[in-house]
Amino acid sequence: MRYGVFGTGTVGLTISNRLAELGHEVMIGTRESLKSGDRLKSKNEAVKVGTFADAAAFGEVLSNATNGAGSVEALKRAGEANLNSKVLLDISNPLDFSKGMPPMLFAMNTDSLGEEIQRTFPNLKVVKSLNTVTAAIMVNPVDVADGDQHVFVSGNDSGAKETVTGILKGFGWIHILELGDITTARGPEMYRPIWLRMWGALGTGMSNIKIMK
Amino acid sequence: MRYGVFGTGTVGLTISNRLAELGHEVMIGTRESLKSGDRLKSKNEAVKVGTFADAAAFGEVLSNATNGAGSVEALKRAGEANLNSKVLLDISNPLDFSKGMPPMLFAMNTDSLGEEIQRTFPNLKVVKSLNTVTAAIMVNPVDVADGDQHVFVSGNDSGAKETVTGILKGFGWIHILELGDITTARGPEMYRPIWLRMWGALGTGMSNIKIMK
């Protein structure tokens, strides 16, 4: 499978490298000039680099790992024709750092960033997932409690959710809870404030939650 | 110990009955006329009934189990002199049902209901806890996964947090994570949207999260 990943921060690089490690063809998309790409130094040789539009055109499946505040703009640069009706694994969080740390959320309660992306690109099949854990856990859940922990999936399209579930299983996820349509992304996005406080109290982001019944 | 519990809904009755069962003296406080108290039928014989002010004066330790939208008003009726500098175990959530189900939050991001109560009654020692689980689990955590799951504590006063932690242990809680001062209540309160979606997906509220490291 060919993947296009938007965003060259820790999440974008981590996702891209892991997909390449699993044998997929990957292009990471960036807004920056390719020559200035210091932040891409840690990328895997197997990961191609292009613009947002290049990555969108390249990928059969896409992933949004851009900063939440810039996600809609990044996807507009990718271009609706390139995005088309592809599956988008949306990992972004609507974080607002304008008031310092801890960050606030700029979408919540009556909306989510996942929904905003879905509204802006109605043909895109947006699936929110992985935004509740730190990058290292996203792609190697086995590193925490041997993978005995949960990740969530929200989206309108059943087939797209199956595609994303397949990616998650490829990363090593065992417990995947499908919450419902894209409006349920409000839950995982608004989980961020307790996640930040747990990180503070535990002194590590290498933790996650398991649903106990 | 003598407890004053505000609120005669499921949470107030459940907390009151359990405290009485554990051998404590309990008065439940209500805004309603005592003669009209149909909603109190299920109360334990050992639980006294009074006004908010009666319960506040009676309790050495207090608990707010009122509807979040009415919590500040209920505490004003209890009276600042009766609340004094007592410990308040605040179980409320800032739920706004005005737009139907699922409820929205009326405090979040830059504030929490726990903080609003603390600001309104600066002498009261507010400790937010138990608001992340359903009433039955609050008082009998052993009923889910033999108690192998987490509850959170937020508050400004160390002694008050110790008092609340003692109550939680009395109920059977094993894993208690102290998040920090009362501003950290934003985390557990904003957890409600994902909790509601998990309930929907799981088909039961008899579940909770365990932090895995």
Residues 79-108 of A with CB under 8 A from B: 99, 104-105, 108
Query: Residue A36 — very low, low, confident or very high, per pLDDT cuts 50/70/90?
Result: very low
Query: Could you tell me if B200 lies within 8 Å of chain A, comparing CB atoms?
Result: yes
Q: Which member of B145, B197, B211 has the closest CB to residue A180?
A: B197
Closest chain B residue to the Cα of A187, Cα to Cα: B194
pLDDT tens digits, one per residue of B5-57? 999 999 999 999 999 999 999 999 998 755 544 556 556 788 999 999 999 99
As for the ipTM of the complex, it is 0.95
The CATH number given to A2-202 is 3.40.50.720
Strand partners for A140 = none
Does any CB of chain A come closer than 8 Å to the CB of residue B159? no
Task: Tell me if chain B has a CB within 8 Å of the CB of A131.
Answer: no
Given B149, B202, B213, which is nearest A207 (Cβ)? B213
Q: How far apart are CA A13 and CA A63, in angstroms?
A: 11
pLDDT band at B200 (very low <50, low <70, confident <90, very high): very high
Q: Which residue has the tokens 């359903």?
A: B134
Q: What tens digit of pLDDT does each residue of B93-147 get?
A: 999 999 999 999 999 999 999 999 999 999 999 999 999 999 999 999 999 999 9
Cβ distance B148 to A212 less than 8 Å, yes or no, reads yes
- A vs B, Cβ pairs < 8 A, gives 122
**Alpha-carbon distance A7 to A4, whole Å?**
10
Structure confidence at residue A43 as a pLDDT band (50, 70, 90): low
Ranking A36-40, A105-109, B106-110 by mean pLDDT, the lowest is: A36-40
pLDDT of residue A42 exceeding 90: no
Average pLDDT, integer, range A149-159: 98
Q: What is the DSSP letter of A134?
A: -
Residue A192 Cα, gap to closest chain B Cα (Å): 8
Domain assignments of chain A as residue spans, ordered by start: 2-202
Strand-pair partners of A95:
A105
Model pLDDT for residues A73-94, shown as the tens digit of each residue: 999 999 999 999 999 999 999 9
